[in-house]
Structure 1
Amino acid sequence: MKPRKSRSSSNRKKSNGGTLIGLFLGLVIGVVAAAGVVWYINKAPTPFADKGQRPSTAIPADANGGSPAPMALPGKPGDPVPAPTAADDGKPRFDFYKILPGNADAIPDPATADPNQTAQKQSDAEKEKQAKEGALKEPVYLQTGSFQNAADADNQKAKLALMGAEASVQQVMLQDKVWYRVRLGPFKKQDEVNSMRSELSSQGIEANIVKKD
C-alpha cells in the first residue's frame, strides 16, 4: 500500500506544476497581444483625425513656462515712423472701414441743435415760400372811395356787390368831419390785389391800396 501513495502524490505535483506554467504562459501572451494592439492603434492613421481641425495659432510660451512674449515689430526702438509714400498719399488702402459700425459720419441730433439757427432756417424757408406764392408781409385793402355822405357810401357798396365783390364801410373822423370809407379786403396775396384792381378798373372804379388803420 505504501508504494501506491507515493505515485499518486508525485502525479499531483506534476499536474499542479503544469497548471501554473500554463497560467503564466497565458498571461504573458495576453500582455504581448495587448501591447501589440496599442502599438497598432497609435501608429495607424485615423480617417477622422484631420477633419474639422485648424492649424493652431497659439503663441508658444517661453522656455521658462511663463506667458508668451510679445511679437517684435519691425525696426528698432526710437526709429522714426515712416512717412506715407506717394502710392497711398496718406489715405487708407481700403474703403471697407467706412461701413464698419462707429465709423459712419455723425449726424447732428435735432434736439441739441442751436435754436437760433433752427428759427433762422424756418424764417428763411417761410420767406422763400411767401416770395414764390406772392404772399404779402401783412394784409392790405382796396379803398374804392371815401364819402362824407353815408348814402353815397352805401351806393358804392351796393355797386360792388353787383360785381360780386363784398365791401365794407368804415366810419372815421378827420378834422372834425365824418368820412365813410368803402373798402375791399383784406388781401394776403399780391396776385389777388392786382386781379381785383383790374376788374374794378374795367368798371370805371378807381381803387387804392391801403393798410389797415
Structure 2
Amino acid sequence: MRVLLVEDDELIGKGVVAGLSKHGIGAHHVRTAQAAETAHLEETFHALVLDLGLPDRDGMELMATLRAVDPHLPVLILTARDAIEHRLKGLHEGADDYLVKPFDLRELAARLHALVRRTQGRAAQVVAAGPLRLEPASGLAWLHGESVALSRREIDLLTHLADADGRWVTPQVLNERLFGLGEEIGSNALNVHIHNIRRKLGSAAIETARGLGYRLGWRPSP
C-alpha cells in the first residue's frame, strides 16, 4: 500500500513515514497543498493522510480538489484540531476517518488498512485487456499478475482507451477527457503520459496511427 501524507511539520512527517514503513505502508510526504496536487497527478495512492493546517491552503479545500478527480480516494484527517466541531466538520465534508495528534502509529496503520479494504470492496469496475488488469476506482493495476504503479492520469487514459473497445481515439478527444475543457495543458502533455505508459507496460500497450489517434494494444475482455 502507498499513501500520500500531507503534513507541513517536517519532523512529524519523517516520523510518520518511518513508522508506517514498519507496517508495510509506503508514504510519500509533502508539506503543501500544491505539492500534494502535483504528487497526486504523478502517482496513484491508495489513501490520503491529511493535516488540515497547511501553509498555502486549508486542508479541507485540498480534500475537495483531490476528491473532484479521484472520488474514491480514502481520506484520513490527521490534525491537532481536537474539538468535536472540527471532527464532525471533517467527516461531514467527506473525510473517511479522523485521528487527533498525538497518535499511535500502530493505530494509524490499522485505520489505513481498514480504509483501503473498504474502498477496494466498493470498486466494482474492472478493466481486463490482454495481460493488463485495472481497477479505475482504486487506482490499482497489474501486468501479467504483477502490480504496476500508474498515475491517476495514466489510469484514466488507459480506461478511456479500453472503453473505446478497439476503436481509434483522437488526441483531441483524449485531451478533453483527461484534462477537461477549462484546464490549461501543455501541448506535449498527452505524449508524455503515453510515453510513460509504454515505459511501464511495454511498447505494445498503446498503438498509434497517423491521422487516426490511439487505441489500446490489447482488446478488452468481455
TM-score of the superposed pair, with normalisation by structure 2: 0.18
TM-score of the superposed pair, with normalisation by structure 1: 0.18
